[in-house]
Each structure stands twice: as C-alpha cells, then as structure tokens.
A and B are shown apart, each in its own frame.
Chain A
Amino acid sequence: MSAPLLVLDGDSLAHRAYHALPKSINNNAVVGFTNFVLRLWEMEEPRAVVVGWDTLTAPTYRHEALEVYQSGREFDDSLLRQLDLLPELVAALGFAYGKAPGYEADDFLAAAVRSEEKRRGGRSVVVTSDRDSFQLVSDKTTVVTPVRGVSELARIGPAEVRERYGVEPAQVPDFIALRGDPSDRIPGAKGVGPKTAATILKQYGSLDAALDAGRFPQQREELLLYRRIATLDASAPLPPLKDQSPTWAEASSLFRSWGMNQMADRLAARAAGSA
C-alpha cells in the first residue's frame, strides 16, 4: 500500500496539547503539538504532511450566515499566542499548511483529501477531534481521532461512520443539519436527535428528498443553511502537496531561536540520526 498523505487539524491538536500539558511549561501547546506530530509521523510513515489552521481573527461565511455559530468560545491569550507560532513551526518541519481568512482548519482537510483522491493510489489519514470530518471518510480516507491523547486513537472508516451515526459518510452534513451540533451551536431540526436524523436519512436518502416530501416545511431554509455550514469547503487554497522529507534541523534551529532548547535538542538528535 502506498504511503498516505497525513492531514492534520492543527487547531484541534493544538487545543488538545494546550490542555493536556501543564500551563507552566513554556509554550506547552507548541511542545505538545510537536510531540503529537512526531508520534503520528512515526506511526503513519506518510509521504507528506499537511496541516490546516483556523484564522480566528476573521469570520467565515458560517459565522456570517448563523449568528450563534461557534458562539461563546473564548481562548486563553497564551493559547492564541502559541497558535500564531505553529504555522511557522510546521513550515520549518518541511510540512505544508493551509491558513486563510474565511476558511476553517477542517476546510483545508477537505481540500487535502480531495487533492489526494486525484492521485493514483492516493490515500489520506485525517487526524482531528472534529466529527464533521466524518464526511471525508471513504475507502481512500480514514479519520483518526484521539481518544486519550495519542496513546489511544480511534480509526474511522465507512463502517465506523455507519456504526456511530447510522448514515453513510456522504450523508454526514445532512445528518448534522437535522440533528444539530451543540459544539458549533447548530440548532438542527426541532425535536430531532441522532436516531431520528439517521432514520429520516435512511427513509428519504437525503435532506433534500425529505424536504421535497414535505418534512420540516417551517424549517426548510434553516436546515439547508445548517447543511451548508456543516459541509466542509474543499475549495480552501492549499499549496501543492508534493512528497516531503522532514527538515528536522531547520525546526531545531527555530526551537533554539524561541529558547526551547529541550525540543531543539530532540530535533537536532533526529536530524543527526537521519543524516
């Protein structure tokens, strides 16, 4: 089997790292993110790595279309400062990344997966805690979600999406529109939980068909909006995803310039080992 494209939700991993390590560690999210990435790189042996990032300073069409979308989220200043450092680190590691106003990290995941699907034999491993990404799952794309850090990872293929949600991966945006998504504050259809959402999609095949059959006449436009919000935007701009060789020495120098000598030493040792 060919080496996969490793596609990382940078914000998701950085948030996890920030909360999983003591705040007194200098740049704890950067340390934890790097350790996550190194572990994943060793596990997956990818041909290339691409990381998607949110641009928290700019709203996306989702925020403009739905006022409550992701409302109430507040992040520590320390985390925000570290999120600004991480794209530079990813570049120093020799990996690609996508970050642009108007797009969320998971839009870049969709763009990367679509790009890899066009390669002959291409396959992707997407690492994120965000279940919206289940819509990307296929026989070529697996979603890996951390259960307890990187020590326990759940691998989600088409069968696991069916088992968890009772729908096909391509139906996930319809499913989210109907069920809602508390973490993103998407309300969903009134009185519809996960089981009913799955049953409706099984019966009608799609949200469009359910609406055309007269279901939820009062909420038609809202539900179409929720689906649009839940659908990842694969048009997010990414650089070419060529095969990569990690540049450990460059990343080591960057850590040194940040005064993070322990990480600098680890990556220097890795660079010496791979020289």
Chain B
Amino acid sequence: MLLVRHSVPEVDPSIPAADWRLTAEGRSRCAALAERLAAHEPDVVVSSPEPKARETAELLAARLGLELREAAELREQERRTVGWLERAELEAGIRRLFAEPDQVVFGEESATDALARFSRAVDGLGDGAVVVSHGTVISLYAAGCTGSDAFEIWSGLELPDLLVV
C-alpha cells in the first residue's frame, strides 16, 4: 500500500491545522510525487477529508487518472483543542502521545484510538491504493508495519512524502 503524507500547507496559526489548505509550492510538489506513484501502478486514491490532504489527493488523482474516494477515518489524530504550537512544543507533544499510547495526553484522542480507526480504513484496501493522510497517523501505522520507532518516522516525514508498506 502507498501511504502519502499531504503536501506543504499554508500555516495559519489563527485557524486549526485541520482546516489548512496547500500553498502554491505544496500544489506544485504533487507533480513529482505523482510521477513516483505512477511507477507503482496504483489503482485508486483514498483521502482524509481534511483540506490539505484532500487537495493533495485531488491533484494526485487527476495526474494519475484515478478514482478519488474519501474516508473520514483517515483524518489526523484529533487535536483541535491544542492550537498552533512552535516546532519544539509540537515535538514534545508528539513524543508524549507516542510514549503513552493508551492515554489522552495530547489533543482529544489517544495514539491507540487514532491508529485503530486509521487501520480500519486502510486494512481492507489493496496494495494498489494510494492513501493520502497525515504525519501522526501514518507514522503510527508505518511503525507497526516496520517494527520501527514512530517518532523517528514522524520526524523524518517530508511534505509530501511516500511510504510503501
């Protein structure tokens, strides 16, 4: 399966990150990603409903000539109450989230619950599905698949990025 983290968003601290859209640079980067994806011969694009993911998915689906579906369970870990954070604060929060996966320690949803509903959405998909989603939930899922550290994956993900699991 092809896990795609959305492209570069327009950061606006005055609105929740879940409502951010892509920048012009973010839209432009989708072209190169579509080329990388084409080599895997994908058959469908399934996206989180959040605008920055949805927009990424629309651009990819259009370039690849694929059907686009939306799945609410692919949204990012719920943390609307957290608000905008500096990078160091965000990293500290994510570290805590991954370190205490069963607890609601950052935002409104535990890592375990976020991973469970993300997994429900992707486990029925075939290997040719392009799943467009977000850094935290992708890292949790990829960590389970690879036996690797979720925070290391989260820290290493770019905008956009592609993991094949």
Residues of A within 8 A of B (CB): 16-17, 19-25, 28, 31-32, 35-36, 38-39, 148-152, 262
Q: Is the CB of B1 within 8 A of A35?
A: no
Does B157 make an interface contact (CB < 8 A)? yes
Say yes or no: A31-B145 contact (C-beta < 8 A), given A20-B165, A24-B156.
Answer: no
Could you list 20 further interchain pairs (A-B, Cβ under 8 angstroms) beyond the known A39-B147, A149-B146?
A20-B142, A20-B145, A20-B165, A21-B153, A21-B156, A22-B156, A22-B163, A24-B156, A24-B157, A25-B152, A25-B156, A28-B156, A31-B152, A32-B148, A35-B147, A35-B148, A36-B146, A38-B147, A148-B145, A149-B144
Does B161 make an interface contact (CB < 8 A)? yes
Residues in B132-154 with C-beta less than 8 Å from chain A:
142, 144-149, 152-153
Q: How far is the CA of A150 from the CA of B164 in the complex (A)?
A: 13
- Closest residue to B40 on the A side, CB-wise? A19
User: Interface on chain A toward B: helix, strand, loop, or mixed SS?
Assistant: helix
- In the complex, which of the residues B149, B158, B161, B165 contacts A149, with contact meaning CB atoms closer than 8 Å? B165
- Identify the interface centre among B145, B149, B157: most chain A CB within 10 Å of its CB: B145
| Neighbouring A residues of B165 by C-beta, 8 Å | 20, 148-149
| Neighbouring A residues of B157 by C-beta, 8 Å | 22, 24
| Neighbouring B residues of A39 by C-beta, 8 Å | 147
Number of interface residues of B (CB under 8 A): 17
Query: Can you list 29 A-B contacts (CB < 8 A)?
Result: A17-B146, A19-B163, A20-B142, A20-B146, A20-B163, A21-B142, A21-B148, A21-B156, A21-B163, A22-B156, A22-B158, A22-B161, A22-B163, A24-B157, A25-B152, A25-B153, A31-B152, A35-B147, A35-B148, A36-B147, A148-B145, A148-B165, A149-B142, A149-B145, A149-B147, A149-B165, A150-B146, A150-B147, A152-B145
A127 to chain B, nearest CB (A): 13
- Closest residue to A26 on the B side, CB-wise? B156
| Neighbouring B residues of A152 by C-beta, 8 Å | 145
Q: How far is the CA of A19 from the CA of B148 in the complex (A)?
A: 13
Q: How far is the CA of A32 from the CA of B153 in the complex (A)?
A: 11
- Closest residue to A39 on the B side, CB-wise? B147
Q: How far is the CA of A247 from the CA of B134 in the complex (A)?
A: 38
| Neighbouring B residues of A38 by C-beta, 8 Å | 147
Q: How far is the CA of A34 from the CA of B158 in the complex (A)?
A: 23
Q: How far is the CA of A16 from the CA of B165 in the complex (A)?
A: 7
Q: How far is the CA of A19 from the CA of B146 in the complex (A)?
A: 11
| Neighbouring B residues of A20 by C-beta, 8 Å | 142, 145-146, 163-165
Q: Is the CB of B146 within 8 A of A21?
A: yes
Q: How far is the CA of A165 from the CA of B157 in the complex (A)?
A: 39
Q: How far is the CA of A36 from the CA of B156 in the complex (A)?
A: 18
| Neighbouring A residues of B164 by C-beta, 8 Å | 16, 19-20
- Closest residue to A35 on the B side, CB-wise? B147
A133 to chain B, nearest CB (A): 19
